[in-house]
Structure 1
Amino acid sequence: MTRQARAKSPYGYYHVMMRGCGKQYLFEEDYQRRFFLSVAGEACSQYKASLCAWCLMDNHVHMLLLDREDHMWEVVHYVGTLYGQFFNKVTGRCGPVFQDRYKSKPIESNDYFMQAIRYIHDNPIELGCRPENYPWSSYQAYFGEGGHLDRNVLFSLIGGQGNFESFSKSGRKDTYVLNSGRSMTVFEQKRKARGVLDGMDVCDVMGLPGPFERADAVRRLYGAGFSERQIVRLTGLGRYVVQNALKSL
C-alpha cells in the first residue's frame, strides 16, 4: 500500500513525534537523554532547522520544528540513525530503535503553534508530574538560555519571557491533539486523569466531600482534553452533574 504524502505547513512549522519500536523505552539513563538532545541540535544546525519545543518521554519524543528549507525528513533520519546506533551500543541491544514512520503535524496558525507548545510541555502530566517540575522538556529552558531551543517565535507572540508562565498555565482548556491513529485505552485514560488530578484516582472523584470539589475535578479533566462522555464513564458522575460543572467554562 502506498503511503500518504505528509501534509506541508505553509510556514515551515511541524509537530514531530518519534516513538520507540514496539513502544520500547528510548531512554534508560539521563546521559542518553543528553546525547539525544545533542544529536537533535546537530541535526538542526546541519539542515538549517530550529527546535521551538521538545519533550523526552520514556518511549517517545515530541519536537516542534521550524523547517523552512524542507529538510524535516533529513533531520529526523539523522537523529534516528545516530541515536539508534548509540542506544544499541550502550545497552547491548540490536535492531531498530524507532518506529520507521514518525508522525508529523503541520502547524498552520499562530494559535496552533502556541497550543502545540503547551501540548508538548504538558506531556509529563500523564506521569503525574507538573510541566514546570519535569527536567526533560524545553519548559525550563524557556526561562534560561541554551537547551537547543529557539525561543524568539513564542516570545514574539506572547510579549516576552515574562509572560511564559502565565501563557503555559492558560492553555489547560486547549483541544490540540497530535493524532496518533488510535484511541487511548481505559488504562491510559485513567493514568492521564491521575496526573491531571494530582495523583487522585479518577474513580474517587465521586467521593469528594462537596459539589464544588467535584465540579473542580470535572473542569480539570475537561481542560486536559477529556470529553463529557469520558468524564461520565471514568468518574461515575451523572451526565447532568458533569454538564452543570462545565457551564461556567
Structure 2
Amino acid sequence: MARKPRVEFEGAFYHVIARGNQRQDIFRDDQDRTTYLERVEHYRKRRDFKLYAYVLMSNHVHLLIETQRIPLSKIMQGIQFTYTQYYNRRHRTVGHLFQGRYKAILCDRESYLLELVRYIHLNPARVRKPNDPWKYPWSSHRAYLGERTPVEIDTKLVLGQFGRALGQARRAYRKFMEEGIGQGHIDQYYEVVDQRFLGDEEFIEKVDKRTQGREVEAGGPKVPFGRLLEAVAKEHGVGASELTGLGRRRQRVRARAMLVYLAREWSKVTSKELAGRLHRDASLMSRLCAMYERDRNKQAEARIAYLLGKKISP
C-alpha cells in the first residue's frame, strides 16, 4: 500500500520514529549521541518547534514534537541530513544512514501526551537497559526531574498535569513513570488509523476540518524550481545555465549553495531531483546546504522572495 502524504499544520503533535537503514546502529559511541542531540537543539532553535520527549537507542530514535510555523518535514530533513553527513565523515562510510522515510504519527495531544512521554522514556527499560529510566543518560526523562539535558525540553505542559507546585509535580511524575515499568511494546502506538493518526474519530474529523480535507503546505505555497533558479541566478548576476552547469567559480558555487538551500526550504523538489537538475552527486547537496547555512545572506533571500511574491518570516 502506498504511503499517504503527511498532514502538516501549525500546532501539529507528532510521535516521530527514525530507524537506521536495515535496522543498523546509528550511534557507535557517546560522541555520536551528543552530536545528534546538538543537531536536534540547533534545529529546535532554528525551526522553532517544541520538544516534549526524546530517547536515543542504538538503532533508532523517538522524538515527541509539536510544530509551529515550520513543517515537520523541514525539521527532520535538517536533523537527518546534517547528522548523516557528520556520521559518514567521522566513520568513513557512505550512503544512507537512516531507513527511508521516518515514521511520523499525528497524535491527539490531549489524550496521548502523558502516555507517549512515558512510553518514550521507558524505551530503555524494555531492551535490557536499566529499569530506572533516570539512570539512562540518553533520554529527556531527567529534564522532568530538574536536571539539564543537551536539548531544551518543554516540561511545563506535562508537569502541569501532575500539580501546581513544581516539587509535588515532579514526585507525581516520577511515580507515574515507575507505574509504567514492566510495560512491553504497546502496539496501539504504532497501529494507527489511515497509517498516520493516533486518536479517535472526533480527533481525525477535527484534523480534517483544520486542513480542509487536504494536506496543508505549511510555510506558504511552494515555489516552482524553475522560477527559483531564475531568481537566484538574477540575484547573483549569472545565467541560470551557469548554475546547472559544471563550472566551479566561487561566485557560482556560492549561488548554487543558496539555490540548494532555498530549494529545500521553498520548493517541493527532493534532494535526488535537485542533484539531477544541477548535474551533481546527491551527496553534494547536503554539503552545499550546510555551507550556505553557515553564512546566510538574509537580505538577498528577502529580495528573491519579493521577486517571487513569497512571504517569509523575518
| Structures share fold, TM-score greater than 0.5 | yes
Deviation, 1:10, is 8.4
Which of 132, 135, 154 is matched with 2:134 structurally?
132
- Larger CA Rg, structure 1 vs 2: 2
Q: How do residues 1-249 of structure 1 correspond to structure 2 at under 5 angstroms? A: 3-7=3-7, 11-129=11-129, 130=131, 131-147=133-149, 148=151, 149-159=153-163, 160-171=169-180, 175=186, 177-179=188-190
Deviation, 1:12, is 2.0
Q: Deviations over 1:170-227 (max 9, x none)?
A: 345695743279xxxxxxxxxxxxxxxxxxxxxxxxxxxxxxxxxxxxxxxxxxxxxx
Q: Does the 8 Å CA contact 2:10/2:71 hold for their aligned counterparts?
A: no
CA distance in 1, matches of 2:180, 2:124: 15
SS at match of 2:160: helix
SS at match of 1:62: strand
What runs of 5+ residues in structure 1 fail to find an aligned partner? Answer: 182-249
SS at match of 1:157: coil
Q: Does the 8 Å CA contact 2:48/2:70 hold for their aligned counterparts?
A: no
SS at match of 1:34: helix
Q: Deviations over 1:31-70 (max 9, x none)?
A: 1101100100111111110211000000000000011325
The CA RMSD measured in Å over matched residues stands at 2.3
Q: Does the 8 Å CA contact 1:112/1:176 hold for their aligned counterparts?
A: no
Identity %: 29
Decide whether aligned partners of structure 1 residues 88 and 177 sit closer, same or farther in structure 2, where only a CA change above 3 A counts. Answer: farther
CA distance in 1, matches of 2:191, 2:86: 27
Q: Does the 8 Å CA contact 2:8/2:71 hold for their aligned counterparts?
A: no
CA distance in 2, matches of 1:18, 1:94: 19
Question: Which amino acid in structure 2 is aligned with residue 157 of structure 1?
Answer: Q
Structure 2 length-normalised TM: 0.53
Q: Does the 8 Å CA contact 2:8/2:72 hold for their aligned counterparts?
A: no
Q: Does the 8 Å CA contact 2:13/2:64 hold for their aligned counterparts?
A: yes
Deviation, 1:143, is 1.3
What runs of 5+ residues in structure 2 fail to find an aligned partner? Answer: 164-168, 193-314
Q: Does the 8 Å CA contact 1:142/1:161 hold for their aligned counterparts?
A: yes
Q: Does the 8 Å CA contact 2:15/2:63 hold for their aligned counterparts?
A: yes
Structure 1 length-normalised TM: 0.66
Q: Does the 8 Å CA contact 2:36/2:83 hold for their aligned counterparts?
A: yes
